[in-house]
Amino acid sequence: MTDSRASVLITDLDNTLFDWFEQWYRSFDALVGEIERISGLSRESLYPEIKEIFQKHGTSEYAFLLQEMPSLRKMHHGENLLEVYDDAVYAYRKARKQALQLYPTVGDTLQELKSVGVLLVAYTESLQFYSRSRVISLGLDGLLDYLYCPPDHSLPDGMTTADIRKLPNDRYELVSTQQKNTPEGEVKPNPMLLLDIIADIGASPSDCVYVGDSLSKDIRMAQEADVLDAFAAYGVAHTSESYDLLRTVTHWTPEQVEAERKLKEVHVNPTIRLDKFSDIKKNVEFIAHKS
């Protein structure tokens, strides 16, 4: 045990609490495989238009991809693409459900900290709909006290929320975890974002420990905000296949890729290194948070 104490745990979601790359790769690969089978079009011909759609909406998880793909709209003019490619949607959802799991020790550790009275806060750059959906699917609603994430992209023209919700509302909305939006366009490693979150929950930097998988974004941000940092080293072990495919269709613009490259040029040494999530208990003494 170190001399460090904290009553607030702020954590990244993707590749910190669960393997985002793996679930994205498995589900997206399944989707494209079925599109290729049904349409007869090659993956290589589909990837450029997919990338353009992802960049337009600022996410590689865009829920209305099928409806906006030019090649499919041309091939199936006037048809309902969700019906034509129902097998692709099913394959995507099945693969996502199978791959979306908490890393080992995450659930038990969060439960233990919650029982002590630690305030649990998630902060992610993934958009609201996708982040909220994963929090619900992973059983984190109510375990996390707060979820901070960017607002959603807009819906396609003429479409409302009611048009896309086929299940009861509790499958889409958080029941216990409070969800709040970070300012649109503001991204890590801006330390003011983290400091604003800390102020919003009624804490101070000295109360907190921040966990994340990116040295150049998460750990740098925490250090510049004077918040104790813990590097989720286990979260960077994604497969080369998943990352190569993500690069091919990424929503990141050339400007964003260059900005990311420059961030990584700055060497960052984490204060705490975690080989598994539960290692945080060996390095920090957690106490109840007092509002």
pLDDT in tens, 136-157: 999 999 999 999 999 876 656 6
pLDDT, residue 1, reads 44
CATH code, 1-18+102-239+252-291? 3.40.50.1000
- Tell the residue number behind the tokens 């993934």, with chain if given: 126
Look at residue 230 and give its three-state secondary structure. Answer: strand
Q: Is the pLDDT of residue 251 over 90?
A: no
21-69 pLDDT per residue, tens: 889 999 999 999 999 999 999 999 999 999 999 998 888 889 889 999 9
In 3D space, the residue among 186, 227, 223 whose CA is nearest the CA of residue 204 turns out to be 227
Give the mean model confidence (pLDDT) for residues 194-199.
Answer: 97
d(CA 186, CA 96): 28
What are the distances in angstroms from CA 52 to CA 87, 197, 235, 253?
24, 33, 28, 10
Sign of the alpha-carbon torsion through 286, 183, 163, 130:
negative
pLDDT bucket at 257, cuts 50 / 70 / 90 = low
Q: What pLDDT score was predicted for residue 93?
A: 94
pLDDT (0 to 100) of residue 115: 97
Instruction: For 113-124, write each residue's pLDDT tens digit.
Output: 999 999 999 999
Exposure string for 199-238, b = 16+ CB within 10 A, e = fewer? eebebebebbbbbbbbbbbbbbbbbbbebbbbbbbbbeeb
Q: Nearest Cα to 110, choosing from 148, 147, 145, 149?
A: 145
Confidence of residue 245 (pLDDT cuts 50, 70, 90): confident
Percent of the chain with pLDDT strictly greater than 90: 69
**What b/e string do you get for 253-281 counting C-beta neighbours within 10 Å, with b at 16 or more?**
eeeeeeeeeebeeeebebbbebeebbbbe
96: confidence class by pLDDT, cuts 50, 70, 90: very high
Cβ distance 203 to 119 under 8 Å?
yes
HSE-CB for 58 with a 13 A CA cutoff? 15
In the predicted structure, residue 168 carries a pLDDT above the cut 90: no
pTM of the model: 0.88
Task: Compute the distance between CA of residue 214 and CA of residue 157 in angstroms, rounded to an integer.
Answer: 36
